[in-house]
Every structure is written in structure tokens, then in C-alpha cells.
């Protein structure tokens, strides 16, 4: 099989932190920055928070949107999820936020069938809880110090009221990730309400 690099076009590098204004032009970060605020964790591009600095963003595929329109075959999903698991392992992420019901369902389906051994090795075959708030679907899984959440994609018309209602689930999830992040990075220069 040819690599995804043969079919995908890489985008420009991300700006230094998640809420940086250069990232908002991508149409994905802005709604998520708003959602984090509704969950009780304001991300400030003028003064990055600990959470801002702890977030690393990646896509399952290098060129995300066209891949979903073409309904990628299982081999491409396995390749993309394996690549994500390798990044999680190399950077020792505590939290993984999967954004899109399609991504979440594919990760669950392939990991349950043990078709992505690297994911199961690094993250584990998780047991998932599935609360729902209007159009916002949530999924939560945990394995040791790896905390995984899945949310609907912001483009599917999720109301801010539904996102805010989900704060009772998301706030403690984010708090636990920040706690794990702080423990792993004792020399962190984090200050402020998101630490």
C-alpha cells in the first residue's frame, strides 16, 4: 500500500499554541476554543494558558476533509490511527480529544476488533461511556494515565447550550488531564486558572 503522503497534501505548520489567531483561519479551532470556554477553560491567545500550551493538534489524515468525503477504506483508517497512537506514545499525551463521531466510531470499531495493535498497546482497548447533550455526543474512555474523550464535530450544528450543559462531564476530564500534564512536566511555567 502506498503511504498517505502519496495521496495527501500537508498543510502549513500550526501556530505555537492552540488558540493562536493563525490557527483560527482553519475553521476548526475557533469553535473548539469557544467550546473550551463553555466547559470552563478559557483559552486566551493574548496570554496562553497552561491548557493552551498543553494542547497538540493532529489529524487522522494529513488532508482531513477530503478524506472523509471519499470515505476512506479501512487500511487508511488503520494507518491514520496507528500514526496518531505513535504521536501519543512519543509525546506521552495524557489526554486525547477525538473530534468527530466518524473518527470516534472508527477508533472504537477498529480497536475492539484489534485491527490497530499500536492504538491498543499505547492507549488500550477502552470501555466507553456515552452521555449525550442535544446534538453533542460525548464518549469517554480511560486506561491508566491516558484519558480519551470523543465529541461531535463543531460543524454538525451543536448548540452552545448543549456544549455548556456537557461541562459537568468535560470540566473534570480536562482537569484530570491538566493534573497529569503538570505531574509529567514539573518544571512547567504554568500559571493562571487553567493550571
pLDDT tens sequence for the chain (195 residues): 445 444 555 556 567 777 877 777 556 788 899 999 999 999 887 788 888 878 877 777 766 555 455 566 888 889 889 989 998 899 888 889 998 888 888 888 898 899 999 998 988 877 777 788 988 888 888 777 788 999 988 888 899 999 999 999 999 999 998 888 888 876 545 544 445
Q: What pLDDT is recorded for position 1? A: 45
**Distance of alpha carbon 114 from the chain centroid:** 21
Considering only CA atoms, give the Rg of the chain.
16
List the one residue out of 107, 95, 111, 69 whose CA is nearest residue 174: 95
Q: What pLDDT is recorded for position 8? A: 53
**Which residues lie across from 98 on neighbouring strands?**
150
List the one residue out of 183, 195, 162, 146 whose CA is nearest residue 42: 195
Total Cβ atoms within 10 A of residue 64: 17
Q: What pLDDT is recorded for position 26? A: 57
Amino acid at each position: 500500500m502506498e503511504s498517505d503522503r502519496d495521496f495527501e497534501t500537508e498543510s502549513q505548520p500550526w501556530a505555537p499554541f492552540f488558540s493562536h489567531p493563525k490557527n483560527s483561519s482553519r475553521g476548526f479551532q475557533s469553535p473548539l476554543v469557544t467550546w473550551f470556554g463553555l466547559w470552563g477553560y478559557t483559552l486566551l491567545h493574548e496570554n496562553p494558558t497552561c491548557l493552551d500550551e498543553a494542547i497538540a493538534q493532529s489529524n487522522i489524515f494529513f488532508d482531513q476533509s477530503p478524506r472523509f468525503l471519499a470515505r476512506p477504506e479501512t487500511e487508511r483508517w488503520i494507518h491514520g490511527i496507528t500514526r496518531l497512537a505513535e504521536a501519543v506514545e512519543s509525546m506521552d499525551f495524557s489526554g486525547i480529544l477525538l473530534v468527530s463521531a466518524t473518527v470516534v466510531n472508527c477508533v472504537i470499531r477498529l480497536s475492539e476488533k484489534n485491527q490497530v495493535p499500536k492504538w491498543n498497546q499505547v492507549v488500550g482497548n477502552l470501555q466507553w461511556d456515552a452521555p449525550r447533550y442535544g446534538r453533542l455526543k460525548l464518549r469517554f474512555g480511560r486506561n491508566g494515565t491516558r484519558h480519551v474523550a470523543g465529541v461531535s464535530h463543531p460543524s454538525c450544528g451543536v448548540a452552545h447550550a448543549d456544549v455548556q450543559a456537557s461541562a459537568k462531564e468535560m470540566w473534570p476530564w480536562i482537569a484530570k488531564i491538566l493534573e497529569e500534564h503538570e505531574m509529567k512536566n514539573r518544571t512547567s511555567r504554568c500559571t493562571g486558572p487553567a493550571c
